[in-house]
Amino acid sequence: MKIAFLHAGFPPDAIKPQHGDYLSMFKNAFAKNGIAIELVDYQVQKGNLPNLQHNFAGFICCGSANSVYDSEPWIPPLVNFIKDLAKKDAKMVGICFGHQLIAHALGGKVEKAKTGWGLGNKAGEVVQNIPCMTPPLKKINLLYSHQDQVTKLPQESQLLITSDHCPNAAFSIGKQFLAIQGHPEFEPDYLDALLQNRRKRIGDTLVDKAKDTLQLEHNNSEAIQWIANFFQRQ
| 96 belongs to the catalytic site | yes
Residue of 104, 185, 218, 222 marked catalytic = 185
In this structure, which amino acid lies at residue 227?
I
Rounded CA-CA distance 51/79 in Å is 15
| 185 belongs to the catalytic site | yes
Rounded CA-CA distance 197/199 in Å is 6
Residue of 62, 183, 187, 218 marked catalytic = 183
Rounded CA-CA distance 68/158 in Å is 21
Residue of 96, 166, 187, 218 marked catalytic = 96
Can you give the three-state secondary structure of the chain, one letter per residue?
CEEEEECCCCCCCCCHHHHCCHHHHHHHHHHHCCCCCEEEEECHHHCCCCCCCCCCCEEEECCCCCCCCCCCCCHHHHHHHHHHHHCCCCCEEEECHHHHHHHHHCCCEEEECCCCCEEEEEEEEECCCCCCCCCCCCEEEEEEEECEEEEECCCCEEEEEECCCCCCCEEEECCCEEEECCCCCCCHHHHHHHHHHCHHHHCHHHHHHHHCCCCCCCCHHHHHHHHHHHHHCC
| 165 belongs to the catalytic site | no
Which sequence positions are flagged as catalytic?
A: 96, 183, 185
